[in-house]
Chain A
Amino acid sequence: MRKPDLPLQYRLMVPLAVVLLAVMAYPLVFSAWISLHDYRLTRLADVQFRGWDNYLGLIENQQFWTAITNTMTFVVGAVSMEFVLGFALALLLHRVRRFQNFYRAILLSPMFITPIAVGLMFRFLLNIQLGVVPHYLNKIGIHVDWFGVDLALFSLMLIDTWQWTPFMLLMLLAGLESLPKAPFEAARVDGASAWLIFRRITLPMMRPVILVALIIRGLDAFKVFEYVYAITRGGPGDSTETILFHIYKVGFRFFRMGEAASMAYVLIVITLIIVTTLYWSMNRR
Chain B
Amino acid sequence: MPIIKLENIQKKFGQNTVLDGIDLVFGEGEFTVLVGPSGCGKTTLLRLIAGLEQVSGGKILIGDRDVTKLEPRERDIAMVFQNYALYPHMSVYENMGFGLKARGVDTGEIKRRVMQVAEMLGIEVLLNRKPKELSGGQQQRVAIGRAVVRDPSLFLFDEPLSNLDAKLRTEMRTELLKLHRELHATTVYVTHDQEEAMGMGDCIVVLNDGVIQQRGTPREIYFHPINLLVAGFIGSPSMNMVHGQISAGTFTSLDGVIVLETKGQPDGDVILGVRPEDIHRPINLADRQHGCALSCRADVIELLGARAIITLAMSGTELKAVFEERYLKDIVEGSPLTVVLDLDRLHFFDAATGQRLNETAQGGELDGGRGANG
Interface residues, chain A, with chain B CB atoms under 8 Å away: 180, 182-183, 185-193, 196, 200-201, 204-205, 207, 285
Q: Which residues of A contact B81 (CB under 8 A)?
A: 182, 185-186
Q: Chain A interface mostly helix, strand, loop or mixed?
A: helix
A-B contact list, 20 entries, CB within 8 Å: A180-B83, A180-B85, A182-B81, A183-B85, A185-B52, A185-B81, A186-B79, A186-B87, A187-B102, A188-B71, A188-B72, A189-B51, A190-B73, A190-B150, A191-B150, A192-B98, A192-B99, A196-B102, A200-B98, A201-B87
Tell me if B86 counts as interface (CB < 8 A to partner A): yes
Q: How far is the CB of B56 from chain A (nearest CB, A)?
A: 17
A182 to B87, CA, bound (A): 9
Q: How far is the CB of A63 from chain B (nearest CB, A)?
A: 45
Q: How far is the CB of B234 from chain A (nearest CB, A)?
A: 29
Q: Which residues of A contact B150 (CB under 8 A)?
A: 190-191
Q: Which residues of B contact A207 (CB under 8 A)?
A: 89
Task: Tell me if A182 and B102 are in contact (CB < 8 A).
Answer: no
Tell me if B78 counts as interface (CB < 8 A to partner A): yes
Cβ contact of A190, chosen from B51, B52, B89, B99, cutoff 8 A:
B99
Fill in one digit per residue for B35-74: 1 if any A CB lies within 8 Å of its CB, else 0: 0000000000000001110000000000000000001110
Q: Which residues of B contact A183 (CB under 8 A)?
A: 85-88
Q: Which residues of B contact A196 (CB under 8 A)?
A: 102
Task: Tell me if A189 and B87 are in contact (CB < 8 A).
Answer: no
Tell me if B77 counts as interface (CB < 8 A to partner A): yes
Task: Tell me if B86 and A189 are in contact (CB < 8 A).
Answer: no
Q: Which residues of B contact A204 (CB under 8 A)?
A: 89-90
- 7 nearest CB pairs, A to B: A182-B85, A190-B99, A186-B85, A191-B73, A192-B102, A204-B89, A191-B102
Task: Tell me if A189 and B103 are in contact (CB < 8 A).
Answer: no
Q: Which residues of A contact B88 (CB under 8 A)?
A: 183, 205
Tell me if B275 counts as interface (CB < 8 A to partner A): no
* Further contacts, 19 of them, CB under 8 A, given A183-B87, A185-B50, A207-B89: A180-B83, A180-B85, A183-B85, A185-B85, A186-B79, A186-B87, A187-B87, A187-B102, A189-B51, A189-B52, A189-B77, A190-B73, A190-B98, A191-B103, A191-B150, A192-B102, A200-B87, A200-B98, A205-B88
Residue in A191, A201, A207, A285 whose Cβ sees the most chain B Cβ within 10 Å: A191
A207 to B90, CA, bound (A): 13
Cβ contact of B89, chosen from A185, A188, A285, cutoff 8 A:
A285
Tell me if B146 counts as interface (CB < 8 A to partner A): yes
A201 to B50, CA, bound (A): 20
- A-B CB pair tally, cutoff 8 Å: 67
Q: A204-B89, A285-B89 are in contact. Are A190 and B83 (CB under 8 A)?
A: no
Task: Tell me if B89 and A193 are in contact (CB < 8 A).
Answer: no
State which size class the interface on B falls in. 20 to 34
- CB-based nearest B residue for A184: B85
Task: Tell me if B87 and A193 are in contact (CB < 8 A).
Answer: no
Q: Which residues of A contact B98 (CB under 8 A)?
A: 187, 190, 192, 200
Task: Tell me if A188 and B52 are in contact (CB < 8 A).
Answer: yes
Q: A182-B83, A183-B86 are in contact. Are A189 and B72 (CB under 8 A)?
A: yes
A200 to B88, CA, bound (A): 11
Q: Which residues of A contact B146 (CB under 8 A)?
A: 186, 190
Q: How far is the CB of B152 from chain A (nearest CB, A)?
A: 9
A182 to B150, CA, bound (A): 18
- CB-based nearest B residue for A197: B102
Q: Which residues of B contact A200 (CB under 8 A)?
A: 87, 98
Q: Which residues of A contact B79 (CB under 8 A)?
A: 185-186, 189
Fill in one digit per residue for B84-106: 1 if any A CB lies within 8 Å of its CB, else 0: 11111110000000110011000
A188 to B103, CA, bound (A): 12
Task: Tell me if A191 and B99 are in contact (CB < 8 A).
Answer: yes
A153 to B213, CA, bound (A): 71
A207 to B88, CA, bound (A): 12
A200 to B86, CA, bound (A): 13
Q: Which residues of B contact A193 (CB under 8 A)?
A: 73, 102
- CB-based nearest B residue for A185: B52
Q: How far is the CB of A21 from chain B (nearest CB, A)?
A: 43
Q: Which residues of B contact A187 (CB under 8 A)?
A: 87, 98, 102
- CB-based nearest B residue for A207: B89
Q: How far is the CB of B59 from chain A (nearest CB, A)?
A: 20
Q: Which residues of B contact A285 (CB under 8 A)?
A: 89
Q: How far is the CB of A92 from chain B (nearest CB, A)?
A: 20
Cβ contact of B73, chosen from A192, A201, A205, cutoff 8 A:
A192
Task: Tell me if B50 and A189 are in contact (CB < 8 A).
Answer: yes
A192 to B150, CA, bound (A): 13
A188 to B332, CA, bound (A): 59
Task: Tell me if B83 and A189 are in contact (CB < 8 A).
Answer: no
A193 to B72, CA, bound (A): 10
Q: Which residues of A contact B84 (CB under 8 A)?
A: 182
Q: How far is the CB of A183 from chain B (nearest CB, A)?
A: 5
- B204-250 contacts to A (CB < 8 Å): none
Q: Which residues of A contact B89 (CB under 8 A)?
A: 204-205, 207, 285
Q: How far is the CB of B78 from chain A (nearest CB, A)?
A: 7
Q: Which residues of B contact A180 (CB under 8 A)?
A: 83, 85
Q: How far is the CB of B106 from chain A (nearest CB, A)?
A: 15
